[in-house]
Structures are given as structure tokens and as C-alpha cells.
Amino acid sequence: MTAVTEARTGASSPEAEVPARPRKGAVAAWASRQYWPAYLYLLPGAVFYVLFVLGPLGQTAWISLFRWDGLTEGRWAGLDNYRDLFHDGRIPSALAHSLVFVVAYAFLPVALGLVLAGLMSRIKVRGLTFFRAVLFLPQILATVVVAVSWRWIYDIDGPLNAALRAVGLGGLTRAWLGDYDTALPAVAVVGTWVMYGLCMVLFLAGVQKIPTERYEAARLDGAGPIREFFAVTLPALRGEIAIALVLTITYALRNFDLVWNTTAGGPGTSTTVPSVFIYQGAFITREVGGAAAISVCLTAVVLVVTGVVMRLVRGKED
């Protein structure tokens, strides 16, 4: 029918007029581009990344297939370390603690950062830069310094209990990091205090790139501060929120130094997280293969969570 139609109309389809070009191979297509000098600038960073990130990750995955104490010759174990990991009753509780830290290290700091960024973008007072620097200070402090400082604050004779006694709430005093019921929330509060400054700075940078015309249009429509925030500021900060969530969730899942320097996973196992088991297996119980298996699984969880967050944000942008 097509040939008959073309014969009657005297026209042919565009596909028939333009001969198909032979498709170039991937290597030829890349070589024909004019951007190849840029790859030379990226080459040193790529080499560094392969040697010091992908290389150790591959070596860790290989070690996870052995029973090895870190000193003597390892014995092939295959997937036994992973089977033991999934049958270890301590892992579910450690993952549950990590979920608590995700809330405290990621979602709460993002919420606080949005509130602070919204307030600071509207308030014009002298010394605002100084207050921004003070609020960001926890992020630049060494984690060990933060942990030691909060251990002193949470001490039975520390400032927190002293303040409670001063206001007549002496019955609430306790060793906050030594109590099974309060150790995990206490460490979570420290994480929120550390991470909210990073979120605030990211959001402030994002607010500064929002055109002022959008705010003026919202105000002409009668929008108040709250409606203006949800209608203008929040949608414009979607990219910054994605970056903040990726950074904070990754830190929450791989968190070790803050937990270890405050509670060492205790009391009991009330604050243990997978990274604590990695350290204990590699340097205390000498089960290096099992520790490597936990490391591989934790890396996979971080990549999956990061991918889901980025996918959700990208889907909303599209």
C-alpha cells in the first residue's frame, strides 16, 4: 500500500530519501568529540579514585570471602561470612539504631536547616554573618572534640544535670550516656547538633540564587511568610535538599567515631551500629572476614539509599 500511495502522489517517505548513516562504534564516537582534553584533566582524580576507593573496596569484598584473623593465612569460606551475618541476631538491632540516627542526623537537621535558612533570608540584622558562623561551628569541629565535650555535658555531674537541678527538676538527672533508655537518644541529639549547620549553609546558598521577582510576586498575591516559604523557597531548594539528604544519610549509616567516642556502643548494645561491629570484628575479635562482609553490605545499603533519594528528587524535577 505504501508503494502504491507513493506512486500516486509522486512523493516518497523521508526515510527513503535520506540513506541511513552507518552507526559509529562507542570508541570512534568518543574519539570524534572535541572534549577529550577535559578527560585528561579528570584523569589524575580518576586514578586516585580507582587506587584509593575502588581498589580497597574490591580488596574488602575479596577478604569477605575468607576466614581470616588478619595475621595467619586465610581460609576460603565463600559466602559463609554473609550467611553468618544474616543469621546474627545483633544485626537487626544495629540497623534499627542506624534508622534512629538517619532521623536524627538527616531529617531533623534538614528540617532545622530549612527553618533557619528561611528565617535568616528574611531577617536583616547586624551581626547576622557572625550568627551564621556560630551555627555552622559544630560542623567544622573534630568529631572527637565534639564527643568528649558532650560526654562532659551528659556526665552525672555535668552541666545538663546541674541545670536540671537548678530549675527544680533534679528527679530527671541521670547518667545520660550510661542509661539504657537514654543513651541512644542522647547520641542522636549530638548528631542533630553536628549536622544541622551543614544543611543550613547549603540552604542559605540556595536561597541566595532564587530570583527576588518570585518573592515579590508571591507578596503581591497576598502570601504571608509561611505560604511564601512553601510556595517559593521550598520548591527552589529541591536540589540542595537532595544534596543535604545524601550527605547526612550517608554519614548516619556509616557513623562510627561519634558513637565510639561517646558510648563505644554501650551500655550493652543499646547504641551499637554496623560500623561498631566492623571495628570490633577487625581489631578486637580478629574476625576480619566477617568484618569485611559487614563493610560490603553497609556499602551496598548506603549506595541503595543514596540512589533512591536521588531518584526521587530527580523524578520530581522531571
Cβ 265 vs Cβ 259: under 8 Å = yes
Reported as a single tens digit per residue, the pLDDT across 234-260 is 888 988 998 999 999 999 998 999 999
What number is the average pLDDT over the span 153-167? 93
Question: What are the helix and strand counts (H, E) for the chain?
Answer: 19, 2
Nine-digit cell at 45? 582524580
What number is the average pLDDT over the span 25-40? 65
Q: Is residue 230 over pLDDT 70?
A: yes
Cα separation of 176 and 157, whole Å? 11
pLDDT at 85: 87
Q: How far is CA 102 from CA 37, 180, 192, 302, in A?
A: 41, 20, 10, 11
Closest CA to 147 of 264, 251, 248: 264
pLDDT bracket for residue 153 (50, 70, 90): very high
Reported as a single tens digit per residue, the pLDDT across 103-116 is 999 999 999 999 98
Q: Which fold has domain 83-317?
A: MetI-like fold (1.10.3720)
Q: Is residue 223 over pLDDT 90?
A: no
More confident: 183 or 39:
183
Specify which residues 76 forms β-bridges with.
Answer: 66
More confident: 22 or 209:
209
pLDDT at 2: 45
What number is the average pLDDT over the span 16-36? 55
pLDDT at 4: 43
pLDDT at 8: 45
All structural domains of the chain with their residue ranges: 83-317
Cβ 81 vs Cβ 65: under 8 Å = yes
Q: How far is CA 235 from the centre of its chain?
A: 21
Q: Is residue 317 over pLDDT 60?
A: no
Cβ 200 vs Cβ 112: under 8 Å = yes
Specify which residues 67 forms β-bridges with.
Answer: 75
What number is the average pLDDT over the span 13-21? 48
Cα separation of 104 and 190, whole Å? 9
Task: State whether residue 66 is helix, strand or coil.
Answer: strand
Q: Is residue 66 over pLDDT 90?
A: yes
More confident: 76 or 124:
76
Reported as a single tens digit per residue, the pLDDT across 256-309 is 999 999 999 989 889 999 999 999 998 998 899 999 999 999 999 999 988 888
pLDDT at 6: 45
pLDDT at 278: 92
What does pLDDT average to over the chain? 85
Cβ 95 vs Cβ 254: under 8 Å = no
pLDDT bracket for residue 216 (50, 70, 90): confident
Cα separation of 269 and 271, whole Å? 6
Q: What is the 8-class DSSP label of residue 21?
A: P
What number is the average pLDDT over the span 202-207? 90
Task: State whether residue 75 is helix, strand or coil.
Answer: strand
Half-sphere exposure of 297 (CA within 13 A, CB side): 22
